[in-house]
Amino acid sequence: MTDVQWRRQHAIFEQGAMALRQCPVPVIAAVNGAAFGGGCETILSRDFVYAIPAARLALTEVRIGILPGTTGTQQLPLAVGERRAKEILMTGRPFTAEEACGCGLNNKLCEPDKLIDEALATAREIAENTPLAVQRIKRSASIAIRRFQTERDWAGERYPRVG
């Protein structure tokens, strides 16, 4: 893949992640298996993450000499804290949904046959609230991410040159 092709693809991924973050209603991920690399980064753009105990997650990009390309280096520290994020990002080591729950990346562990029901129950509970209040809470809680856009842009410029 050339730098031009990569930048085009990267822009599409960035737009998708941004659309999820800017969606006025909460977005819930239901993880029923593995979420590695971009799959794990996609989870970072969700407002809530529910997963089955057998789910495994990882940001493995470091193992092939690249950076997570969809703000993983900026959003993960917000979700789990700086030290834990550095460990996850620098080792590329997979971790369990239980570990993700313990460090704040995953909201809830669900039995496989209850995963979708649990996610939908949360969606229904939120939908019972005043829509404008929910939208404003989501927006207010997400404002901190904006300050990391400069770092994201810096990382994006260097992404294809690592290694």
Whether 41 is catalytic: yes
Per-residue pLDDT tens digits for 25-70: 999 999 999 999 999 999 998 999 999 999 999 999 999 998 887 7
Residue pair 79/67 in contact (Cβ under 8 Å)? The answer is: no
Does residue 158 have a pLDDT over 80?
no
Sign of torsion over alpha carbons 121, 125, 128, 131? negative
Does residue 152 have a pLDDT over 80?
no
All structural domains of the chain, each given as residue ranges with its CATH number in brackets, are: 3-161 (3.90.226.10)
Exactly one of 41, 98, 99, 118 is catalytic; name it.
Answer: 41
> pTM to 2 decimals?
0.81
Structure tokens at 98: 């239980």
Residue pair 33/58 in contact (Cβ under 8 Å)? The answer is: no
Percent of the chain with pLDDT over 90: 59
Which of these ranges, 14-28, 99-113, 123-137, 146-160, has the smallest mean pLDDT? Answer: 146-160
Residues whose CB is less than 8 angstroms from the CB of residue 132 and which lie 6 or more positions away in sequence, other chains included: none
Nearest Cα neighbor of 50 from 36, 22, 29, 35 is 29
- Neighbour-count burial of 12, counting CB atoms closer than 10 A to its CB (0-12 exposed, 13-18 middle, 19+ buried): exposed
Whether 61 is catalytic: yes
Per-residue pLDDT tens digits for 102-117: 999 999 999 999 999 9
Does residue 90 have a pLDDT over 90?
yes
Structure tokens at 30: 């239901």
Task: Give all strands (DSSP E) within 11-149, no chain letters.
Answer: 28-31, 34-36, 48-51, 56-58, 95-96, 108-109
Residue pair 45/14 in contact (Cβ under 8 Å)? The answer is: no
**137 or 125: which leads in pLDDT:** 125
Exactly one of 61, 98, 118, 125 is catalytic; name it.
Answer: 61
Does residue 154 have a pLDDT over 70?
no
Three-class SS state of 119: helix
Calculate the CA dihedral of residues 49, 55, 59, 63 and round it to 10 degrees. Answer: 180
Residue 78 CB neighbour total at 10 angstroms: 16
